[in-house]
Amino acid sequence: MNEPDENLLKKGLELLDWLQEDLENVGAEDYHQLMRAWELKHRALTSQCVKDPKDSYERVIDPAKEKTAELKKKDMSVHTYRWTMFADNDEDAWTALRSWRGLRAPSRLQQLDPEALRIEADSFPKEEIMGKFSKATTIEDLVNIYSPLVDEFDSDIVTIQISSINQEETIKLLGKELLPKLRK
Can you give the residue range of the structural domain that contains 36? 1-76
State mean pLDDT over 22-37: 72
| Residue 66 placed within a domain | yes
Report the pLDDT value the prediction gives residue 183, as an integer from 0 to 100. 85
Report the pLDDT value the prediction gives residue 1, as an integer from 0 to 100. 47
59-107 tens-digit pLDDT: 777 787 787 788 787 777 777 788 899 999 999 999 998 878 887 778 7
| Residue 171 placed within a domain | no
The residue that leads in pLDDT, 6 or 69, is 69
Map residue 82 onto helix, strand or coil: strand
Is it the case that residue 45 has pLDDT exceeding 70? no
The β-bridge relationship of strands 157-163 and 134-136 is unpaired
| Residue 7 placed within a domain | yes
Task: List the one residue out of 117, 113, 86, 80 whose CA is nearest residue 100.
Answer: 117
| Residue 22 placed within a domain | yes
Split at pLDDT 50, 70, 90, the class of 5 is low
| Residue 140 placed within a domain | no
| Residue 180 placed within a domain | no
Q: Exposure of 73 by Cβ count < 10 A (0-12 exposed, 13-18 middle, 19+ buried)?
A: exposed
Number of domains in the chain: 1
| Residue 56 placed within a domain | yes
110-134 tens-digit pLDDT: 777 888 888 888 898 888 888 888 8
pTM for this entry: 0.63
| Average predicted confidence (pLDDT) for the chain | 79
| Residue 45 placed within a domain | yes
